């Protein structure tokens, strides 16, 4: 029989097929990206209301709507930008709310991004196998359960290990009481793995700039969170001997992540080595620890162990680029993702060589992936450009500081030159939009582009414009 679904008539063989097809044509099934936006919006509103309660502030007074909304957005989007001093402004209840929002935001992003990636892979894979079949089966319950359990288990294992290391250091090295040491360890471990950048010290981690026992566990946590669950899952499989070949995604992510981190570490350490306001006053060992930390943290971790506002403009520009690129897909890192950056570099190299097809990691790259990577990158550039211009118009700060703030918000990094709290409320609202768009935008945008892919039934005459 033939039934009408939406604006189209489709043939179905049986009532069971009709029910299955109708499920696939529900708005949520056809546009799963909308569910991500709606879900994060609900968590954001709940967090804002909780932070506005008088009990959430140390003073016992209600927090303004904009300040609560900004802080909740920064926590849910695991960014780390703040308009109030976290350790002195928020009460224990407020800090607990922040910790819960960070955990929910990080787990939500990893889980939903992984499931969307699985949905895209399953749909496109079946499309290639079945040819003309337009609609495909949804992800099986077994796959969903495996992804969700894997994300939660991985998150808790890394967070517990990091918290244990930090707790020991706070207790032994800084003589914190046992309860306080555990609290500090857990909070910073969760913040680190989720690439949130929130710290319970007014100077963030500046007081620990030369301490590798604090810096190394935090770096390890935010690197693992920033690589993304699919890559972590593949690493575990290789360690256990259950896999013999790396996937294209894992190879691209690991290679590009390592290369960009190396460039960041070398460049920032070299530029800031003699800067008396950043690394210059530390010993050689301390400079190396702080330099490595600040070369890695633009992967969207957001912590800082030196005063970012005193960094050389060249260091700020390099950090801008690294923050914009971000970390791995389906992880807690933001940005356009290292895979997008690597694919665009591969496309450019192919064009320079004059080749007709793009090959990456021993595989041919579909033309649709070129367009998706280009679209995501240019959309990010456009969003940052517009936001920067708006901030320059409505705030008293210069281009270096404003551009850094915009890129940090879009990349959900959380580092700042120190202007966040001094921005007018209108500018803070712009930053809120940037953080939200930067957190859910690249994921939903890329998945929507992939899921909308379809064959065109006709083509137009070809003509080449002048390029360059």
Tell me if 31 is assigned to some domain: no
Here the tokens at position 92 are 């224990």
pLDDT digits (tens, 9 = 90+) for 3-14: 444 445 455 454
31-35, 215-219, 273-277, 464-468: which range is least confident on average?
Answer: 31-35
Which SS3 state, helix, strand or coil, does residue 12 take?
coil
What is the domain count for the chain? 1
Q: How far apart, in whole angstroms, are the C-alpha atoms of residue 412 and residue 100?
A: 17
48-52, 68-72, 150-154, 253-257: which range is least confident on average?
Answer: 150-154
What are the b/e assignments for 152-166, b being 16+ CB within 10 Å?
eebbeebbebbbebb
Tell me if 457 is assigned to some domain: no
Smallest CA-to-CA distance from 379 within 423, 434, 427 is with 434
Here the contacts of 168-171 (C-beta below 8 Å, separation 24 or greater) are 169/211, 169/213, 169/214, 169/217
> How far, CA to CA in Å, does 42 sit from each of 47, 72, 208, 378?
9, 11, 36, 28
Q: How far apart, in whole angstroms, are the C-alpha atoms of residue 184 and residue 200?
A: 7
Q: Which one-letter DSSP state was computed for residue 10?
A: E
Tell me if 1 is assigned to some domain: no
The band of 17, judged by pLDDT with boundaries at 50, 70 and 90, is: very low
pLDDT digits (tens, 9 = 90+) for 226-250: 998 888 888 888 888 877 788 888 8
Of all residues in the chain, what percent carry a pLDDT higher than 90?
Answer: 57
Tell me if 410 is assigned to some domain: yes
The band of 116, judged by pLDDT with boundaries at 50, 70 and 90, is: low
Q: Average pLDDT over the chain, rounded to whole?
A: 83
Tell me if 460 is assigned to some domain: no
Q: How far apart, in whole angstroms, are the C-alpha atoms of residue 219 and residue 242?
A: 28
78-82, 219-223, 442-446: which range is least confident on average?
Answer: 442-446
What are the b/e assignments for 244-273, b being 16+ CB within 10 Å?
eebeebbbbbbebbeebbeebbebbbebbe
pLDDT digits (tens, 9 = 90+) for 376-414: 898 899 999 999 999 999 999 999 999 999 999 999 999
Q: How far apart, in whole angstroms, are the C-alpha atoms of residue 58 and residue 72?
A: 17
Q: Which pTM does this prediction carry?
A: 0.84
Q: What is the pLDDT of residue 22?
A: 47
Tell me if 311 is assigned to some domain: yes
Give 200's contacts (C-beta < 8 A, 6+ positions apart): 86, 87, 95, 184, 187, 188
Q: How far apart, in whole angstroms, are the C-alpha atoms of residue 101 and residue 76?
A: 5
95-109, 120-134, 250-264, 400-414: which range is least confident on average?
Answer: 120-134
Give 143's contacts (C-beta < 8 A, 6+ positions apart): 118, 122
The band of 323, judged by pLDDT with boundaries at 50, 70 and 90, is: very high
Give 410's contacts (C-beta < 8 A, 6+ positions apart): 324, 334, 335, 380, 383, 384, 387, 434, 435, 437, 438
Q: What is the pLDDT of residue 32?
A: 56
Tell me if 377 is assigned to some domain: yes
Q: What is the pLDDT of residue 107?
A: 80
> Domain limits at 441?
42-128+140-451
Q: Per-residue pLDDT for 136 more than 50? A: no
Tell me if 5 is assigned to some domain: no
Give 409's contacts (C-beta < 8 A, 6+ positions apart): 79, 81, 387, 431, 434, 435, 438
pLDDT digits (tens, 9 = 90+) for 139-170: 444 566 677 777 888 889 999 999 999 999 99
> How far, CA to CA in Å, does 93 sit from each of 97, 98, 99, 100?
6, 9, 10, 11
Q: What is the pLDDT of residue 84?
A: 95
Give strand pairing partners of 363.
360
3-state SS, 283-343, equals: CHHHHHHHHHHHHHHHHCCCCCCCCHHHCCHHHHHHHHHHHHHCCCCCCCCCCCCHHHHHH
């Amino acid at each position: 029989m033939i039934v009408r679904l939406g604006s189209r008539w489709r043939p179905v063989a049986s009532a069971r097929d009709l029910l299955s097809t109708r499920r696939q044509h529900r708005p949520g099934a056809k546009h799963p990206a909308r569910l991500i936006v709606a879900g994060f919006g609900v968590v954001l509103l709940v967090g804002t209301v909780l932070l506005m309660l008088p009990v959430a502030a140390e003073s016992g007074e209600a927090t303004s709507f904009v300040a609560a909304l900004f802080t909740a957005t920064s926590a849910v989007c695991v960014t780390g930008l703040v308009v109030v001093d976290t350790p002195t402004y928020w009460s224990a209840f407020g800090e607990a709310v922040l910790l819960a929002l960070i955990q929910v935001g990080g787990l939500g992003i990893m889980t939903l991004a992984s499931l969307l990636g699985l949905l895209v892979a399953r749909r496109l894979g079946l499309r290639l196998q079945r040819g003309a079949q337009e609609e495909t089966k949804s992800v099986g319950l077994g796959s969903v359960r495996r992804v969700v359990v894997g994300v939660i288990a991985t998150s808790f294992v890394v967070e517990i290990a990091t918290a244990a290391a930090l707790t020991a250091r706070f207790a032994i090295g800084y003589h914190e009481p046992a309860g306080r040491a555990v609290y500090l360890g857990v909070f910073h471990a969760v913040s680190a793995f989720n690439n949130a950048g929130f710290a319970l010290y007014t100077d963030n981690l500046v007081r620990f700039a030369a301490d590798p026992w604090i810096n190394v566990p935090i770096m390890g946590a935010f690197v693992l969170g920033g690589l993304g669950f699919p890559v972590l899952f593949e690493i575990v499989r290789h360690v256990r001997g259950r896999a013999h070949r790396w996937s294209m995604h894992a190879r691209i992510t690991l290679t590009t992540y390592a290369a960009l981190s190396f460039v960041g570490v070398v460049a920032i350490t070299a530029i800031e080595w003699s800067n008396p306001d950043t690394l210059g006053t530390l010993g050689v060992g301390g400079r190396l620890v702080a330099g490595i930390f600040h070369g890695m943290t633009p992967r969207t971790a957001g912590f800082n162990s030196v005063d970012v506002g005193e960094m050389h403009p060249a260091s700020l520009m390099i950090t801008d680029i690294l923050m914009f690129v971000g970390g791995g897909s389906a992880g807690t890192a933001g940005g356009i993702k290292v895979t997008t950056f690597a694919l665009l570099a591969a496309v450019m190299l192919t064009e320079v060589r004059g080749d007709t097809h793009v090959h990456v990691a021993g595989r041919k790259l579909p033309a649709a992936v070129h367009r998706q990577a280009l679209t995501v990158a240019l959309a990010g550039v456009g969003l940052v450009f517009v936001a920067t211009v708006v901030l320059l118009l409505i705030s008293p700060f210069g281009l270096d500081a404003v551009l850094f703030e915009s890129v940090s918000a879009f990349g959900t990094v959380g580092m700042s030159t120190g202007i966040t709290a001094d921005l007018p409320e209108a500018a803070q609202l712009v930053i809120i939009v940037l953080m939200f768009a930067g957190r859910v935008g690249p994921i939903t945008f890329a998945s929507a582009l992939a899921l909308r892919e379809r064959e065109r039934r006709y083509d137009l005459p070809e003509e080449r414009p002048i390029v360059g």
